[in-house]
Amino acid sequence: MVSLYLHIPFCEVKCGYCDFYSLPRGHEDWDLQTEYVRALSDEIDSRCPTGIPFGHRTPVQTIFFGGGTPSLLKPSLMEELLKKLADYFVWDQTAEVTFEANPKTVSVERFKDFRSLGFNRVSVGIQSFNDSFLKVLGRYHAAADGIQAIQDAKQAGFENINLDLIFGLPGQTVKDWESDLQQATQLETPHISAYNLTIEEGTPFAKLYPKTKPALLPIEEDQIRMFEKTREFLAEKGLQAYEISNFARPGSECRHNKNYWEYGEYFGFGVSAASFVAGRRRTNIRDLKKYLAGGWEGSTETISPKQAMGEFLFLGLRLTEGISVRCFQELFGESLFKVYGATLDKFISKGSLALQGDRLTLTPQGLLLANELFVEFV
C-alpha cells in the first residue's frame, strides 16, 4: 500500500510543547500560502517523474494533509494541491483522504469546502476540554471552540472524525483527565487519539518542565492510571485501542497511520516531510525560507536490513494486533527468533510480550514499558 503525506507548516501560534515543523505564520497570509503551495507543486513535479518506484498514475490508498494546521489553507489552494497530486497518482472514492484541523480555523462552510474537494476524514486537534489546560499548552482555542469544531464537521457531512487529546499535563489530576474523556465521548466521534504529553528537547516546555523538576508534572502512578483509564473508559464506549494511543470503533481505524505502523511505503511532500520508499528514508529540509527557494533536499538514509527489522518490530508492536512472525520471515528472509531470540525470550518470560500462534503482541504490562522495550530492538 502506498500513502501520500503533504505537510502544511502554518499555525496561528506555536504551542509550547510542539516539536513538529510549524511556524506561527500563514494565518490569512494568502501571499505566503500561495507561495508555499507553488513551491510544494514544484517539488511534486520535480520528484514524481523520476521518483522510484513511483511513476505516472501510481495508485494510492490514503492521502494525509498534516502540519501545522492544514485547515488554515485557503480551499482554492488545497484544490490546487489535490489537482497536482492527481497528475501523478490515482485514487478513488474508497481512498482515505484526511486533513488536520484546529478549532477556530474552521466553520461549517470551511468543512463543506474541504468535503467538496474530496476529503472524507478530518482529525481535529482538541487536546483538552479544560480552558486552564488549554492555556498551559499554549493553544489558541478555548474548550467551547473545540466542541463547536466537531459539531461543525458533522454538520458539514463528515462522519469519519478523529479527536486528538493529550494527558499527563502539568497540574492535571486523574479526575481532570476522566472529565476530558467523558466530554470527548459525548461528541461521539468514531476515532480518538490520546497521547501522553512528551517533553521534547528544544521546545519551550523543555525549559518550563525540565527533567530535573519532575514534580511539575503528574506523578508516574497518576500518568499510568490515566493511560489505563483511557483504555478502559474508551473500550466501554465502543472505541477499542488498536494502537498504543489510538482508539476507534470497528472499521474507523486510521488507514494512513496504520500504514506507518505496518511498515508500509509512503511519499511525503512539503517542508520537513519524510518519505519511505524502497528501503530509503528521505527527509526534506526543515527551513521554510530555503524550501520556498526550491532547496527542499534534506537528508537521505538507506535503511540497513538489521535496522529495518528493528523498525518493523517497534512500529508493529505499537498495534494491538502486534506483528506476524510469518510476515517477518517473508519480508526479511530470516526467522524472527533467530534474529531476536534472546531478547524475545527475556520479554516473554518477564510477561511484557506474548506469542499466540503467529502473532507477537505487547501484554498490558508491556504496554507500560513499551519505550524501554522498543529500544532493545533498535
Among 33, 41, 71, 102, binds ligand SF4 (CB under 6 A): 102
As a whole number of angstroms, the distance between CA 230 and CA 365 comes to 15
Q: Rule CB under 6 A: which of 329-358 touch ligand SF4?
A: none
- H-helix segments, 54-173: 75-86, 108-116, 131-137, 143-155
Residue nearest to ligand SF4 (CB): 18
Is residue 100 a contact partner of residue 125, using CB atoms and an 8 Å limit?
yes
| Beta carbon nearer to ligand SF4, 72 or 81 | 72
| Beta carbon nearer to ligand SF4, 69 or 275 | 69
Q: Rule CB under 6 A: which of 63-82 touch ligand SF4?
A: 67-69
* 106 to 125: interface string for ligand SF4, x by CB under 6 A: -------------------x
| Beta carbon nearer to ligand SF4, 121 or 139 | 139
| Beta carbon nearer to ligand SF4, 18 or 208 | 18
CB of 115 to ligand SF4, least distance (A): 22
CB of 339 to ligand SF4, least distance (A): 37
The C-alpha cell 492555556 sits at 135
Residue 234 CB neighbours (<10 A):
20
Instruction: Tell me 319's DSSP state.
Output: B
Region of 12-20, 188-196, 202-210, 352-360 interacting with ligand SF4 (CB under 6 A): 12-20
Among 14, 25, 286, 290, binds ligand SF4 (CB under 6 A): 14
Q: Rule CB under 6 A: which of 261-300 touch ligand SF4?
A: none
Torsion of CA 123, 128, 134, 139, to 10 degrees: -10
DSSP 197-246: ----TTSHHHHHS-TT-GGGS--HHHHHHHHHHHHHHHHHTT-EEEETTE
| Beta carbon nearer to ligand SF4, 125 or 146 | 125
- H-helix segments, the chain: 30-47, 75-86, 108-116, 131-137, 143-155, 174-186, 204-208, 220-236, 255-261, 288-292, 305-316, 325-332, 336-350, 364-368, 370-377
Rule CB under 6 A: is residue 218 a binding residue for ligand SF4? Answer: no
Query: Which residues of this protein are in contact with ligand SF4, per CB under 6 A?
Result: 11, 14-15, 18, 20, 22, 67-69, 102, 125
